Structure 1
């Protein structure tokens, strides 16, 4: 969902939610030990010899890597998803998913890493969660291998992100999460709607927050005894991505609260801005008008114990 109001954003963000760590007991070709960064000759199967920044990585031969796949209950895993074929088409790498129910992901991830039975790639790991997983040496520090990642290094240099990466380092001076980088703010989550309810009510899918309010009023008129909008995560999910289009930070995305203001070429504290007041005022009005369930901000979040990630719906 987009908004007619343009949000202020830092040029580039680090997102460690899509963190990929390699298991130390497995080499790049799926066998043997990867060892230290200098021991890569024996596990460089499929590597491009002249891989430089700006190139699409394509292995020189077909490869298969195993990966965890946390399965959302609302979206069961499907082996025939187009994304798997597209990854293989572009890179000659086939990903074999080890499907784990989302509710058990945190515990199974730790258990399988401790048992030396984890797949090669471990996604969905947030900053701070890796601390308890690295002491055994079962996880490879991705910082030892960035010299093999020219596109990654180029973006880090271009956007001046080395200091951000350094803050992710553990006591051994290395970092174990591979962050995703975006040139502009790119919220990972948005609103989920009941398309059948919208169609029955003759309401178009909203494209701005003003249209969201109008749509909610239409749904409320059709269902006067119900709240048309709810958040399962104490408002953190909705405010996380809504704040972007309002030009501030809130919810899970609050961080230190600082947002980049291109008008002054400086960072400002989001909650002290008029944009943040607009955000709070807007969602307060949804509660006041009976368009959003007030328990959205008080009910216990329905997310696996030990982790935090958003989802909103109506």
Structure 2
């Protein structure tokens, strides 16, 4: 977007400069007042390092007189750091949160309520998303919205999926597994053939493994607790996964995988970097996680193993005739950006974030400066400039992550209406990294009927949210130390029945009632 077009948009109310000064909306006045610094805290992915002073930050400073100062926290520590700040109320101006944080902390007054700003017409761009996506109302507590949801833009379907070394299956005449039992058999054969291998490594510990795998195996789990929506239980209802016999079977499966030497013995403590090195270094052959990693892993693996190939599999059946998986949300990503209730001039921050939901704002936040980093095609859609993309052809960890880091853009940055696959596809095609493997990958995912959309949690009242937090804290305290004991075989799986009884007595059933009642109330 040219400066002239931007200022015309500003005059229409799409942008705000520091302090909401009306003079700041006039051409040529961006430097007439003192520049405001706005601090933004969010999780930093190891794949995309934060580049403070990025072209996007500089352009916002030039056009709006607002300097965004990013305060990245390593993703592995973000949850703990965030909860400490939320509990003490010492927040930066804007902070990345999730729905559970809203449930847990909205009543404390730490977040700026947003509905009044929207009702007063100060959030016109977000209001379009709100009206077009009814599920966003599920993010409220007592009808109040406390954070701007990160919403995907033109996202291709994708999700947690099983990825395996198909070259090794072919080399050793091992059939492609069609069920989880067959998967364990195949990985067991590879362990026998390669005794020093760890066929199935994990990143980010036990919660990540269970969140990725439990639903596919007939139960369910999420990283903040055990509650999930199960389409196959009584026509569809919320279930507390760890308090069910189905979850016991998930733990039994991993206990067997661990005893066979298939599951990495270091799975509870393996970092993402170690996980990547095991897979790309030829020590590991399978993962169940973000399946798109397999495309990059293949390229790195082929530096030492020319025929090496990681490819996503159709979702294996957890019982005869039953296979299921959940797509990543193609609208709401799961994270939100909340404004601190103590921030100075909150209206300016609300208008700033609202502008990021406009097409002009989203173009800047995802593709950089028009004419410098991208141009618009004949349909008005942004297309990255090849001269810019070519700078990252050999960049690590991948050309697209390196470009995102340079720009300060897209899903893993402070980007409320974000691009992910839309820009990734452009970059991979321009850099020559789009090949038959990519085509096959996206075709497998798109054509697999096992994938289904996730069901978002229903909106709760403040009283319900407080009770949910209380019960979740109690149950997590009971359950978190138990999972590894069963998975590692330190406890016989039969003893998990006592755990089920205990957590149901301690509130799992009440949690299910709260969520299902809230769902019924919402759809009435």
TM-score when scaled to structure 2?
0.31
Q: Point out the structure with max Rg over C-alpha.
A: 2
